[in-house]
Amino acid sequence: MTKPKKRVITTPGIIYLSLFVAFATVILVFSAFSGEISSSQSNFVVDILNSILRFFGVILNESQLDTFAFFVRKIIGHFLIFLLDGIFAYLMLINLSIMKKKWLPVILAISLMIMIAGASELIQLFTSGRSGNFYDVGIDLSGAMLGVATAFLVTLSRKEKAEHSSAS
């Protein structure tokens, strides 16, 4: 009879847990901001990025600036932050657990991200000047799934390299 592995809480596990919780908190807090505050935050980021573009000689007309603002809001405000939180969710789970199945942390990380995406849009339904929608949940989950998949593949690749080099 084999003894079950005892999992020791590691520093990386605590770091990834902290990052996951911090990003999830930022997501949920930002979703509770009024439409006016949210717009001013988006406009601030767009203004900075537009200034950088102008520095390099790229001048956007009004229509292009509107499209650019939409792109920034969806890509930075949804996709990228969920991509990062998906990475942290997966890394947190593999560093703080003794799951034997490779796919279980992937499924749990995606499940956590589904809950956060749903909660953030639900909060927006009850926030002045905001509205939650499934389109944003799709963008959020696309980022989260890419983050989880990337973290999974990188850790799998590192494990295989470590096993290969120790076998040699």
Q: How many CA atoms lie within 13 A of 98 on its CB side?
A: 7
Give the pLDDT of residue 120: 96
CA–CA separation, 24 and 14 (whole Å): 15
**What does pTM read for this prediction?**
0.85
Domain layout of the chain by residue ranges: 11-161
Classified as helix, coil or strand, 160 is helix
Residues 6-61 have pLDDT tens digits of: 666 789 999 999 999 999 999 999 999 998 999 899 889 999 999 999 999 999 99
**Percent of the chain topping pLDDT 90:** 68
Q: Look at the block and give the residue holding tokens 């942290």.
A: 88
- DSSP per-residue letters across 13-59: HHHHHHHHHHHHHHHHHHHTS-HHHHHHHHHHHHHHHHHHHHHTT--
CA 26 vs CA 76, 102, 116: distances in Å: 13, 29, 11
Residues 92-106 have pLDDT tens digits of: 999 988 777 888 999
CA–CA separation, 109 and 145 (whole Å): 9
CA–CA separation, 123 and 34 (whole Å): 11
Give the pLDDT of residue 1: 57
Give the pLDDT of residue 135: 92
